[in-house]
Amino acid sequence: MSREEVWVTGMGLVTPLGVGVPAFRDGLAAGRSGLRRLEGEEWAATGADVAGVAPVIDPLDVLPRNEARSVDRFILMALLAAEEALEASKLTVGQNVDAERVAVIVSSGAGGLSTYEEQAVARSARGRIAVSPALLPGMLPNMPSARIAIRHGIRGLSSSIAIACAAGAMSVAEGLRLIREGSADVVVCGGTEASLAPSAVTAFGNARALARAGTGDPEAASRPFDRNRSGFVLAEGAGVLVLERAAHARARSATPCGRVLGWGATSDAHHPTAPRPDGAGAAAAMRLALADAGLAPGDIGYLNAHGTGTRTGDLAEARAVRSVFGDDGPAVSSIKGHIGHPLGAAGAVEAVATLLALREGRLPATANLDDPDPECALDHVRGAPREAAVRAAVSNSFAFGGHNVSLVLGAAGAPD
């Protein structure tokens, strides 16, 4: 018995390269950077001086005035990305899809950090009266999914997943599972993160995890797989995909952006923040994803790496990739050189980047990869995007806690 085929029929983004998929696609193609210097005393006190900052969003452009107060930025970005994805899919819940057969799983690694911090400061300064009664619905991690469901009348499962930087990818995997098991015809899934809250930035800086621009070019701070990498650049953004049962999509003459072919997830069971040095957990996730997709390593033409620019993380991932694919593996790149690391949104944003690469036959380059670390030897795409006709790809996401998630994505119309 063959399994249900799952199409991606819509995609939406908010990233440091702009609002919308076209801004992101064109930015990657042109080699533009979304990294900028953080100015002002507030940021100087955090120890960070560069970040991937998405465009300013006026809450009143997204929500009615009576709902816009105290709504965290991570919710606003998710609503914008979902709006674009659903519009691209040409789905209208309750018209060409049953509202109870649509699910939404849009996750975050941290939730509304800035909103919580602002309210905590206000309470400390002015007491109980300063705390907004809208605090919790404005910052809880489930609220992007809840708000999307409310906005679009989605009455199926609404959920979120809390596994840090792998949350977005796991949301896509859960969407695939829901459709395969027959629990939904459509799943709106992805991740969102607005992590540029002073306390969080300070914590990452004190952990010596962040790259700094110093007196140099802030656009050069994020350097995945480069010999001179020094940490990741914190970023914000949102990515949402509309997954749809292929038979349902065909019945309404929908056009796929691509397909979700398989997934794999493992735990390192090693350390709260550091990956296994040998990359064994990451390799196991990739092997599970390939087996789930019914593909062999040689079927994969491109790998979108987690590739954050940390010394231990990049090295562990490179070892994992070589373990699975050998020395003659797929082309590899990380988009975090362009946009930084948007934590729980990363896996969803990178899934969109991978699907765009498959659709357009253009693999994004890893920005700032000027001197590849010989210990991270892979077939790196660097300098400029590479033209290549690829039918299947892997997208990796790894997280604090040892969470490893790999997705196998296919070009639209590619055979199983």
Catalytic positions are: 165, 306, 341
**Tokens 């690391």 belong to residue:** 341
Alpha-carbon gap, residue 160 to 149, rounded angstroms: 12
Residues forming a β-bridge with 48: none
135's CB contacts (< 8 A; 6+ apart) are 70, 115, 116, 119
Alpha-carbon gap, residue 45 to 181, rounded angstroms: 50
Alpha-carbon gap, residue 60 to 206, rounded angstroms: 36
Alpha-carbon gap, residue 300 to 329, rounded angstroms: 8
Residues forming a β-bridge with 396: 406
Alpha-carbon gap, residue 137 to 111, rounded angstroms: 11
Helix (H, G, I), strand (E, B) or coil at 89: helix
- CB burial of residue 128 (10 Å; 0-12, 13-18, 19+): exposed
- Cβ proximity of 324 and 286 under 8 Å: yes
Helix (H, G, I), strand (E, B) or coil at 116: helix
Alpha-carbon gap, residue 367 to 397, rounded angstroms: 18
326's CB contacts (< 8 A; 6+ apart) are 297
Nearest to 105 by CA among 151, 149, 160: 160
**Tokens 């796991």 belong to residue:** 170
Nearest to 119 by CA among 105, 137, 102: 137
Residues forming a β-bridge with 362: 387
114's CB contacts (< 8 A; 6+ apart) are 72, 73, 194, 196, 197
